[in-house]
Amino acid sequence: MSSEEVVADYLPLVSEFLDRVEAASESDDDDDDLRETELRSISNLIRFARDFYAAFLKDQFRVEVSGFSYPDKRRVSRRLVRAERATEPPGPALWLAQLFEDLCDALHGEIEFGYSDSDEAYREFHQNEFPQWLYQLAEWLAEINPPLEEQVAAVVERYVRVV
């Protein structure tokens, strides 16, 4: 499966996630609790990023990753050091690959694997890491698949508004 196919497959799941958060925000009883519960249900978002990078890094940088573990991150970092020296100026593909390292830090440090599962950690993920990644994804797609880029851009816009 190519990275573009992964994006096309997972975009509806991101929209479903946004629907649930929106519905939780609009419901009357226990607004905050329900909304926070929905904001913590991010397994589909993580799977999206994981499957995308598994395909994208293999296609673009010939690096195989299976998740966001330290060995994966190290493999990618080693490859990116060479790519950064060779690529002048750095393009959207390289920037998107660099965000893999940020996601590794975020997911290992706080949200999925770390000790903390505080609301603050999730807020950081929803306000910074994930929308930034989606935005960069749209930037990369703009060059190679404009129709898909429009869909991703619409999701980014909605994501920032809803979450």
Residues near other proteins (CB under 8 A): 66-67, 69-71, 73-74, 76-82, 85, 101, 104-105, 108-109, 112-115, 117
Question: The dihedral of CA 139, 140, 146, 150: what is its sign?
Answer: negative
Q: How far apart are CA 113 and CA 26, in angstroms?
A: 31
Q: Which is nearer to other proteins, 2 or 41 (CB)?
A: 41
Q: C-beta of 81: minimal distance to other proteins in Å?
A: 5
Number of neighbours of residue 162 by Cβ within 10 angstroms: 14
Q: C-beta of 149: minimal distance to other proteins in Å?
A: 29
Q: Which is nearer to other proteins, 112 or 157 (CB)?
A: 112
Q: How far apart are CA 157 and CA 136, in angstroms?
A: 13
Q: What is the DSSP string of 48-84?
A: HHHHHHHHHHHHHH-----SS-HHHHHHHHHHHHHHH
Residue 19 · residue 161 · CB < 8 Å: no
Q: Which is nearer to other proteins, 29 or 120 (CB)?
A: 120
Q: C-beta of 143: minimal distance to other proteins in Å?
A: 26
Q: C-beta of 103: minimal distance to other proteins in Å?
A: 10
Q: Which is nearer to other proteins, 70 or 146 (CB)?
A: 70
